[in-house]
Amino acid sequence: MTDCIFCKIVSGDIPGDIIYQDDEVLAFRDLNPQAPVHFLVVPKRHISTINDFQPDDAELIGKLYLAAKNIAKQEGMDESGYRCVMNCNDEGGQTVHHIHLHVLGKRQMNWPPG
């Protein structure tokens, strides 16, 4: 998608603080971190929202979580814990319509979320 900011990070058209990538998945640090560690894990292929998931996407979605847990270990927060969040549409708090798994850690998380 030409007007998608995360597609532009995937393509290298705009810079991102990239911490992991493979053929299908990219992870980069959030521009406006909400925790001492806050990174986003995205599929390189554009999918707008959770509502657009198809059965064939199941393996790709699993790979987002596998990347998240590997990076969380590299960041030294696998034992202390971390939160994974994927927002959907306006009331879910989604502002960028290219799905992304937020991974936040290195502070105590609260529940319920705001």
Q: Which amino acids are annotated catalytic?
A: 100
Q: How far apart (Å, rounded) are the C-alpha atoms in residues 97 and 88?
A: 9
For the CB of residue 16, give the shortest distance to ligand AMP in the complex, in Å. 5
Considering the complex, state which of residue 24 and residue 30 has its C-beta at the smaller distance from ligand AMP. 30
Return residues touching ligand AMP (CB under 6 A): 5, 16, 28, 30-32, 87, 93-96
C-beta of 70 vs 94, nearer to ligand AMP: 94
CA distance 10 to 100: 12
What's the burial of 95, exposed, middle or buried (CB within 10 Å: 0-12/13-18/19+)?
exposed
